Structure 1
Amino acid sequence: MALVGWMVIGALVVAGVMSWRMQRYPGGWRYAFALQYVAERRDLDAARRALRGLRDQAARERETASGSVELAELAHQGRIDAARARLVALKNPGTGLLRDSVGGLWLYEHVLEARADGRAAQYPLHQVSIRDEYSPKVGHVYLALPAGRQQMVSVALDEATSETEVRAFVVKVANAAADAKAAKAERLAKIPQAEAELRKVTADTSGPEQARQRLADLTARQKSDARIPRARRELDAARDRWEKLTGHRPQ
């Protein structure tokens, strides 16, 4: 940048500082800059700083207390969400992770998925029975489904899928179904306790209530705090002194 450009910028900065100072200490050049009125300017600044400091402190205290209320409410809602999630998982554990698959059958933690004739359906493991038969090139897997119907899934036997693999899969499904029946009974037994825990957690609003009470106490304490009104009166007095000196009242 050329020297002239820097000079223009410097002049603008100086002009801005001078304008700000004239507004801060109104009444004319000498009151804003002359050493003769340093004490008066310091008197005005001290009163301003005192009030601003008390206001900033009060605002920080309110912000902290309000933040505590928000955190307490979030924590309470988090406990409710966790208790509700546990209850939902007991009532409906969902599909779960994939354990194994063969042909058109996929064994998940809690369901068996069967795909045949271009259609796929999932069945709760605790409601499924399985058996198998074999011909030289095809394994026939029969499923007894929850509604009493049966479904056959044919698995081609070749180098990619052997009869041994299909048999092992059928055994795995049968064992998983037996485990699922026991797991369902355990889940059902836990549901009343989980429902009670959800009600308890929902009703326990002590954390947010205490945080809101602390905020209310702080607000009341600040309203009765005489320091800010006193600092405001002292600033008004400093303004009065400046106005008496210059004929202009500062902000």
Structure 2
Amino acid sequence: MGFVAWIVIGVLVAAGVVVWRMGRYPGGWRYAFGALYAADRRDLDAARSALRGLRDQAAREREAATGDVALAEQAYQSRVALARAHLAALRDPGTGLLRSSVGGLWLYEHVLEVHAEGRVNRYPLNEVSIRGEYSGKAGHVYLALPTGRQQMVSVELDEATSEADVRAFVVEAFNAAADAKVSRAERLAKVPQAEAELRKVIADTTGPEQARRRLADVTSRQKSDARIPQARRELDEARDHWEHLTGRRPE
């Protein structure tokens, strides 16, 4: 950037400062810059700063109290959501992670998924039973379903899937179904306690209520605080004095 450009920038900045100062201290050059009126400018600035400082302090206090209410509400809703999720998981744990698969059978932690005849069915693991029979070219897996019916799923035996693989799957699924019956009983036994805990968590609104009371206290105290009205009157007096001097009333 050349020397002339810097001079132009300096002139523009100086002009901006002059315009700002003339607006801040209206009435003319001598009132905005003259040493004779320096004390009057300081009084006006002090009154402005005092009011602005009190307003900013009050706003920060309200914002902090309002933020505390939001955080308390968020924490309350989070506790309720966790309690609901815990109860829901006891009643219905969902599918769970995939443990094993063979052919069209997919064994999850809590569900046996069957892909057969172009359909996919999911059965609660605690409500099924499984056994296998084997021929030279296929493993035949028989499922006793929750409906009381049986279904056969044939698994072709080849280099990718051996008879040992199918046998291992059947044993794992059989044992998993047995374990699922036990775990379901254990989960259901915990449901009443989880329901009671959920009711307790929902009823415990202490955090949000305390935060709302603090916000109400802050709001009430600020309404009765005489400092801001007093600072506003003092600023009006400083403006009146400046207007009396210059014939122009400052903001």
Q: Which runs of 5+ in 1 are unaligned?
A: none
Q: Which runs of 5+ in 2 are unaligned?
A: none
In the alignment, what sits opposite 1:35?
A: 35
Shift in Å, 1:5: 4.1
Give the TM-score, by structure 1 length.
Answer: 0.96
Give the TM-score, by structure 2 length.
Answer: 0.96
| SS of structure 2 residue aligned to 1:250 | coil
Partners of 2:227 and 2:46 in 1: CA distance: 15
1:79 equivalent to 2:94? Answer no
Q: Which runs of 4+ in 1 moved over 6 A?
A: none
1:233 equivalent to 2:223? Answer no
Identity value in percent: 75
In the alignment, what sits opposite 2:168?
A: 168
Give the root-mean-square deviation of aligned CA atoms.
1.2
In the alignment, what sits opposite 1:23?
A: 23
Letter in 2 for 1:27: G
In the alignment, what sits opposite 1:138?
A: 138
In the alignment, what sits opposite 1:185?
A: 185
Partners of 2:116 and 2:48 in 1: CA distance: 82
Partners of 1:117 and 1:4 in 2: CA distance: 85
Shift in Å, 1:14: 1.9
In the alignment, what sits opposite 1:92?
A: 92
Query: Higher mean Cα deviation, 137-146 or 8-17?
Result: 8-17
Shift in Å, 1:72: 0.3
In the alignment, what sits opposite 2:124?
A: 124
Query: Higher mean Cα deviation, 11-20 or 89-98?
Result: 11-20
Letter in 2 for 1:145: L
Letter in 2 for 1:182: V
| SS of structure 2 residue aligned to 1:160 | coil
Partners of 1:196 and 1:232 in 2: CA distance: 55
Partners of 1:230 and 1:116 in 2: CA distance: 83
Partners of 1:6 and 1:160 in 2: CA distance: 79
Letter in 2 for 1:82: L
In the alignment, what sits opposite 1:13?
A: 13
| SS of structure 2 residue aligned to 1:249 | coil
Partners of 1:54 and 1:147 in 2: CA distance: 74
Shift in Å, 1:160: 1.6
Shift in Å, 1:217: 0.3
